[in-house]
Homo-oligomer: A and B are copies of this chain.
Amino acid sequence: MKHLKTFELIESVMRAGSIRKAAEDMNITASALNRRIQGFEREFGSTIFERLPRGMRLNPAGELLMQHILSQRTDMARVQAQVADLTGERRGHVSIACSQALLPYFLPEQIAAYRLEHPGVTFSISVRDREQAERDLAAFRCDLALVFEPVHMVEFEVLHTFPQAVHAVFRADHPLAKKPELRLRDCLTHKLVLPSAPYGVRHLLELAATRKGHSLTAVVETESFELIRHYVTHENAIGFQIPVGLNLKAQSGIVHRPISEKDVPFGGLLLGQKKGRALPVASAKFTQKLIAALE
- Chain A positions within 8 Å of B, measured between CB atoms, are 1-7, 39, 43-46, 60-61, 64-65, 67-68, 71-72, 75-76, 79-80, 82-84, 86-87, 276, 278
Copy tally for this chain in the complex stands at 2
A3 to B5, CA, bound (A): 9
Q: Are B4 and A80 in contact (CB under 8 A)?
A: no
A276 to B276, CA, bound (A): 6
Chief secondary structure at chain A's binding surface: helix
Q: Are A43 and B2 in contact (CB under 8 A)?
A: yes
Q: Are B76 and A68 in contact (CB under 8 A)?
A: yes
Cross-chain contact of A4 among B2, B3, B84 (Cβ < 8 A): B3
A278 to B68, CA, bound (A): 11
Cross-chain contact of A83 among B4, B64, B82, B83 (Cβ < 8 A): B64
Known: A3-B6, A75-B68, A276-B276. A61 touches B45 (CB 8 A): no
**Minimum distance in angstroms from A278 CB to a CB of chain B:** 7
**Minimum distance in angstroms from A74 CB to a CB of chain B:** 11
With CB as the reference atom, state the residue of chain B lying closest to A65: B79
Most chain B CB atoms below 10 A, which of A60, A64, A278: A64
